[in-house]
């Protein structure tokens, strides 16, 4: 999966977030519930949120 800076995602454990940094071995994400997390490639399994309207529907 190709992630981009500023992209909205949902993680199974941490919930909804925004991509802050994408590197070869890790991805840094700001999650609404838990703050900033730096995830390794194996932990960075996301559902990509296509647009801002999806975030509004979930209340974020």
- What is the pTM for the complete model shown? 0.77
pLDDT of 19 above 80: yes
Residue 24 belongs to a domain:
yes
pLDDT at 49: 85
pLDDT of 41 above 90: no
What's the number of domains the chain is made of? 1
pLDDT of 37 above 80: yes
Taking a C-beta distance cutoff of 8 angstroms, is the pair 15, 34 a contact?
A: yes
pLDDT at 3: 85
Please name the helix (run of DSSP H) or strand (run of DSSP E) that holds residue 58, with its range, or none.
helix 52-58
pLDDT at 58: 55
Residue 1 belongs to a domain:
no
Strand partners, 22: 27
Residue 43 belongs to a domain:
yes
pLDDT at 43: 84
Residue 40 belongs to a domain:
yes
Residue 46 belongs to a domain:
yes
Could you list the residue range(s) of the whole structural domain that residue 40 is in?
8-58
């Amino acid at each position: 999966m190709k992630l981009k800076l500023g992209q909205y995602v949902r993680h199974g454990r941490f919930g909804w977030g925004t991509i802050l940094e994408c590197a070869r071995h890790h991805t840094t994400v700001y999650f609404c519930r838990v703050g900033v997390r730096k995830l390794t490639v194996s932990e960075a399994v996301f559902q990509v949120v296509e647009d801002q309207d999806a975030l509004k529907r979930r209340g974020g």
